[in-house]
Amino acid sequence: MNVVDLVPPALFYCFAGVLVLASLMVVVARNPVHSVLFLILAFFNAAGLFLMLGAEFPAFILMIVYVGAVAVLFLFVVMMLDIDFLELRRGAWKVWPVGLLVGAVLVAQLVMTAASWQSLPGAQANILSPAPRENALKAYVTTPEGERQAIQQPRNGPKPLTNTEALGRVLYTDYIYAFQVAGLVLLVAMIGAITLALRGRRGRKSQDIGRQISRKPSDCVAVRQVKTGTGVEC
């Protein structure tokens, strides 16, 4: 066995292991800022896994959108709101036996399912084509006999599509419906944010004619007798 063949599995286990640990730390870290930083670490490792699959577009989107925008927004929120997370978690220890039990059962089921994973015989017809893999470090297919073979890329054939190109070809054609409805979802999210959070600027120095006209002397003028040498209490 060649040493080079060991690189992809080593990278995979490195990325996957750090991803799992970082996700765990997001939940258990005491300091919420550390939680967000671990979240960023988890995003980077997930992006690494995407790159190994030859899916560079999701990898970069994950970094640009999630690390660049979402996680930074989280950091701002966590730092600006000054929420006492320990106080929030205080009651959580009372329910941990139940949570642990449910979680353990779920994990056991999922592990058993994954261990005996099989897809239906008809599923093969639905898999479009081998994903473009020339960007992957090394890609394998499993032969019916259970051997692993490296995929041979044709040398003189037409250049295979890159992942970004392949996505671009279907996103605005076959998946235009989902794309448009996702746009509507974002529109509703924007309406919701504005409806729930936007208030007119306070202390704005604009003229409100109605308020000016309806103002009466009794609302704002008080006549007091002030003796010499004393002040006025408001």
Partner 1 sequence: MNLSDLLPLAPEIFLACAGMLLLVAGTFGGAGMARAVNVLAGVSLAVAFGLVVCPVTGVTGELPGGHVGTDGFSQFVKMLLLPAALVSLVLSHDFLKKPEAARFEFPVLVLFATLGMMLMVSARSFLGLYVALELQSLSLYVLAAFLRNDTRSSEAGLKYFVLGALASGLLLYGISLVYGATGSVVFAKLQTVLASGDAPVGLVLGMVFILAGFAFKLAAAPFHMWAPDVYEGAPTPVAAFFASAPKLAAVALLAKVLYEPFGALAAQAQPILMVLALASMAWGAFAAMAQGHIKRLMAYSAIGHIGYALIGLAAGGAEGLQATLLYLVIYLPMTLGAFAVILCARKNGVALEQLSDFAGLSKTRPALAAAMALFMFSMAGVPPLAGFFGKFYVFMAALQAGLLPLAVAGVLLSVVGAFYYLRVIKLMYFDAPRGAAFDPVPGWGTGLVLASTAVLILGFALQPDLAANAVRAATATLAGAA
Amino acid, res. 59: A
**Whole-number minimum distance, CB 2 to partner 1, in Å?**
31
Residues 186-215 that bind partner 1 (CB under 8 A): 187-189, 191-192, 194-197
Asked if 113 is part of the footprint of partner 1 (rule: CB under 8 A), the reply reads yes
> Residue 164 burial by CB count (10 A; 0-12/13-18/19+): exposed, middle or buried?
middle
- Among 37, 41, 35, CA closest to 19: 41
Interacting span for partner 1 (CB under 8 A) from 31-39, 76-84, 167-175, 213-221: 167-175
Number of C-beta neighbours around residue 228 at 10 A? 4
Distance, in Å, from the CA atom of 170 to the CA atom of 165, rounded to the nearest integer, reads 9
Residues in the chain: 234
Interacting span for partner 1 (CB under 8 A) from 11-19, 111-119, 156-164, 214-222: 111-119
Single residue of 28, 91, 92, 126 touching partner 1 by CB under 8 A: 126
- For 183, half-sphere exposure in the C-beta direction (CA atoms, 13 angstrom radius) is 8
**Whole-number minimum distance, CB 10 to partner 1, in Å?**
25
Q: Alpha carbon 28 to chain centroid distance?
A: 18
Interacting span for partner 1 (CB under 8 A) from 20-28, 113-121, 204-212, 224-232: 113-121
Asked if 91 is part of the footprint of partner 1 (rule: CB under 8 A), the reply reads no
Interacting span for partner 1 (CB under 8 A) from 42-50, 122-130, 151-159, 208-216: 122-130
Question: Which two structure tokens, joined as six digits, stand for 145?
Answer: 């006999």
Site for partner 1, rule CB under 8 A: 109-110, 112-114, 116-127, 173-178, 181-182, 184-185, 187-189, 191-192, 194-197
